[in-house]
Structure 1
Amino acid sequence: MQRTALQGSPGRITSLAGSWVRGARQIVKDKHPFRYHYEELDLGQTFITGERTITLDDIEKFAHLTGDTFYAHMDEEAVKGHPFFKGRVAHGYLVLSYAAGLFVDPPPGPVLANYGLDSLRFVKPVDPGDTIKVRLTVKEKFPRSDKLGEVTWDVEVTTATGETAASYQLLTVTARLPKS
């Protein structure tokens, strides 16, 4: 089988491939994206969350709650001389959990379930005192049945300086509009 390369602007690639690509147009609508049914979501539809500062107390509580007391989270002395941590850092999964807390819309709605994450990367350590926010963008949509659709969201967690701390794809099951 011969490989084919697709070249073009992010917008052109999104249009041709049916999958949103970073750098393509982002669409901001008036409601939280979890309030829209499958058919109402557009590729590139984007939601930017508020912010949350991660404290040393958050890191310590998360470590004790989960049992993840890895030295980079708990021992300032032991982390000295680490090749890329300047000091104690937040757990990647704490950052992920706080990101979900920033973008999840709690009341019942068309988004029915989160069923996984793909391509998770912890790109930059998050230090105590760093503030994070999340960009959530509709990347792909696939119909599952007459009642359900699958939506893949491109998620980017950034720090107050705009640096990417984590990125991944969130997979959700979303209700379709009732047939009339």
Structure 2
Amino acid sequence: MMEQTTYFEDYEIGAGRTTFGRTITETDFIVHAGHTGDFFPHHMDVEFMKASEFGQRIAHGTMVFAIGVGLTANVVNPVAFSYGYDRLRFIKPVFIGDTIKTKTTISAKEDDPKRPRHGRVIERVEVINQRGEVVLATDHIYIVERRPEK
């Protein structure tokens, strides 16, 4: 993990990055179900899902979100913190054996009405499968310090 100080003024709209991929496994399904208590048959019952439109188990949306966001967590910015996520959507199903990666793009910057020495940076987050399809999208909001006055 790397530390990189990036002040509000340093963020550029349109800048972004794409992570490495991560293949989803059956173990991911089991561990996530155990952590969350979500043992719905959509994720855990092979026979139940054979008769569905998907023909197989689908990943928990919350698991795809957690892994997708986790893939981006390789740079620590000591002057920023996460304020939360807006407009979270599970667009396409993810299956065991799919490989996902995450693309982030700075989509907006705005003043923070509660903190005059900070701004809000909105980062569009798209989790993409091995076929290039967006499977999850959300907006990540950061609270970021403004550059100190000299």
Common fold, TM-score beyond 0.5?
yes
Q: Which residue is 1:71 aligned to?
A: 41
Counting only pairs closer than 5 Å after superposition, residues 8-19 of structure 1 correspond to structure 2 as none
TM-score (norm 2): 0.90
Using the TM superposition, give the Cα deviation of residue 54 of structure 1 relative to its aligned residue in structure 2, in angstroms.
0.9
Residue 124 of structure 2 is aligned to residue 154 of structure 1 = yes
Gaps spanning 5+ residues in structure 2: where? none
| Cα deviation code 1:99-118 (max 9, x no counterpart) | 11111235452222x22211
In structure 2, the CA distance between the partners of 1:139 and 1:108, relative to structure 1 (3 Å rule), is: closer
Runs of 4+ in 1 over 6 A off after TM superposition: none
TM-score (norm 1): 0.76
Coordinate RMSD, CA, aligned: 1.6
Count of residue correspondences: 146
Partner Cα distance (1:155, 1:107) in 2: 17
Counting only pairs closer than 5 Å after superposition, residues 169-180 of structure 1 correspond to structure 2 as 169-180=139-150
- 1:134 is aligned, of 95, 99, 102, to 102
SS at match of 1:137: strand
Percent identical among aligned pairs is 35
Q: Which has the larger radius of gyration?
A: 1
Partner Cα distance (2:22, 2:137) in 1: 17
SS at match of 1:100: helix
Residue 56 of structure 2 is aligned to residue 87 of structure 1 = yes
- The residue type equivalent to 1:57 in the other structure is T
In structure 2, the CA distance between the partners of 1:155 and 1:52, relative to structure 1 (3 Å rule), is: same
Using the TM superposition, give the Cα deviation of residue 81 of structure 1 relative to its aligned residue in structure 2, in angstroms.
1.6
SS at match of 2:140: strand
- 2:71 is aligned, of 99, 102, 107, to 102
Q: Could you say which structure has the higher strand fraction?
A: 2
Report which structure shows greater RCO (CA 8 Å, sep ≥6): 2
